[in-house]
Amino acid sequence: MTALHLKCQTLFDGTGLETRQQQTLVVENGLLSYVGPTATAPQPQPGDTQVDAGDNFVMPGLVDVHTHLAFGNAQSEEDIDLWTSDEFRALRGMFFAQHVLAAGVTSMVCPGDSGQLSIAVRNAITAGLFEGPRIAASSRVITNRQSLNDWFPSRVGAPEYFTAQLVTSRSDALAEIRKQAKDGVDLIKIAMDGTHRRPNGDIIAAFTADETREMVEEAHRLGCKVATHAYGREAVMYAARAGVDLVFHAFYMDDACIEALLDAGSILAPTMTFPQNTVDFCQPHDPAISTGYAGYCARTLEVGSAVLKRAKAAGVPFACGSDSGFAVTPYGEWHARELELLVTRLGFTPAEALYAATAVGARCMPRGETLGSLEAGKPADFLLLDGSPLHDIRILQDRSRLKAVYKAGQPVRMDRSPYNPKQVSDFNSLKWTDLYTRDRVAQLGKWAL
């Protein structure tokens, strides 16, 4: 059995906020057998591999707790649910999982997928068929009429190949949770609210407090974690009181919700990258501009940042999620942007952001206590960076500065095969984004009598 000895000048091991100097990692069979001062490290034996990380900053692999492997860089809800077969989605998901890993994300939570996609990708990677990140798999999002994911008209519903499972009774909800647990999910995703509001503007929770508690209890009884989409006060409150493990967004919660999250020990992953990218990147011809969606994202970030700052100050643990899988958050591109937003929007120190994206995120993974930090006995998942993210957190988004990604002690392939995006998603039948009346066309100078 040969070992890998990695000498590091600067190590952020993820056990706290400190960095240590002159450290050595020893890896045997994919696991760390020693992490500590180089001076007291075991001597390399004949046949061992020795690597000097030089000036590179060494840290645990990132954990992205919000990546949708089924979505395929979707431009629309139709792209997510209509245009592709389960088989194509699975192949595409496997391909893009490797892009995620090459971006330094060694563990990812997939909250909401179609069929058994993330289960299959996880199992194929675990079996050694393909290289890929560690995956916490889910299945279809448990959805009710007022939930985000029931986004098509009621008469369409949610056919089996959609990413949402519409449940309209308690027994349907419990039956779906039991089915998903049987199929091998690591977590259940519940869409606790969506776009439905009361006349006073309150976002309506899609499930009652009792229904939420019943679903979460059953998921926990079956050994699954629970993640929820929850923007509004009511949804966050019901999720926290039910003891949900991971709450996404929470932009419109209040201080009572913060107390409830603290009592429950829930982890919060605001996933600001998706709305921030929408605000920053959309072009005038994008429907997100003409429909006002980008403006809504901007307001949401403003309102949300204030309450999320208070949640941070109160001690709610934060993890990093990117909502990758949309056209505005393509796989492998923006996973580390959330760390920057924790720093710029919520006042995290860079070290706190690193901790959120490693140690805290790992707690959302199956056997998460074995991941997220570099300690003897844990898998050797780590990154080598040319430069310190403690001086500039944006370094993590610079592909040229990410020098190596190791999963289980093995360097992963960093170069990615090119692909044709038009054959991967964007199958929409939309042909025109303007209305060509005679006046309009005359205005455009393309027609006159």
Q: Which residues bind Zn ion (CB under 5 A)?
A: 323
Q: Which CB sits closer to Zn ion, 227 or 242?
A: 227
Q: In the bound complex, what is the minimum distance in angstroms from residue 329's beta carbon to Zn ion? A: 9
Q: Which CB sits closer to Zn ion, 211 or 323?
A: 323
Instruction: Return the structure tokens found at 224.
Output: 């699954």
SS3 184: coil
- As to burial, measured by CB atoms within 10 angstroms (0-12 exposed, 13-18 middle, 19+ buried), residue 289 is middle
Q: Which CB sits closer to Zn ion, 79 or 323?
A: 323
Q: Residue 306: what residue type?
A: A
Q: In this structure, how many other beta carbons lie within 10 angstroms of the beta carbon of residue 325?
A: 27
Q: In the bound complex, what is the minimum distance in angstroms from residue 97's beta carbon to Zn ion? A: 16
Q: In this structure, how many other beta carbons lie within 10 angstroms of the beta carbon of residue 436?
A: 11
What are the start-end ranges of the E strands in 39-182?
49-52, 57-60, 62-64, 105-109, 134-136, 141-143, 164-166
Q: In the bound complex, what is the minimum distance in angstroms from residue 20's beta carbon to Zn ion? A: 35
Q: Single out the residue of 302, 297, 306, 257 nearest to residue 279, CA to CA.
A: 297
SS3 333: coil
Q: Which CB sits closer to Zn ion, 13 or 323?
A: 323
Q: Which CB sits closer to Zn ion, 245 or 323?
A: 323
Nearest residue to the partner Zn ion, using Cβ? 323
Q: In the bound complex, what is the minimum distance in angstroms from residue 42's beta carbon to Zn ion? A: 44
Q: Single out the residue of 223, 218, 224, 273 nearest to residue 242, CA to CA.
A: 218
Q: In the bound complex, what is the minimum distance in angstroms from residue 148's beta carbon to Zn ion? A: 9
Q: In the bound complex, what is the minimum distance in angstroms from residue 324's beta carbon to Zn ion? A: 9
Q: Which CB sits closer to Zn ion, 177 or 246?
A: 246
Q: Which CB sits closer to Zn ion, 57 or 151?
A: 151
Q: In the bound complex, what is the minimum distance in angstroms from residue 307's beta carbon to Zn ion? A: 20
Cα of 228 vs its chain's centroid, Å: 12
Q: In the bound complex, what is the minimum distance in angstroms from residue 435's beta carbon to Zn ion? A: 32
Which residue bears the tokens 């937003």?
341
Angstrom distance (rounded) from CA 302 to CA 333: 24
Angstrom distance (rounded) from CA 332 to CA 37: 33
Q: Which helix (H) or strand (E) holds 203?
A: strand 203-205
Q: Which CB sits closer to Zn ion, 65 or 390?
A: 65
Q: Which CB sits closer to Zn ion, 36 or 321?
A: 321
Q: Tell me what percent of the chain is helix, strand and coil, each rounded to the nearest 5.
A: 35, 20, 40
Q: In the bound complex, what is the minimum distance in angstroms from residue 224's beta carbon to Zn ion? A: 18
Q: What is the DSSP string of 216-236?
A: HHHHHHTT-EEEEEEEEHHHH
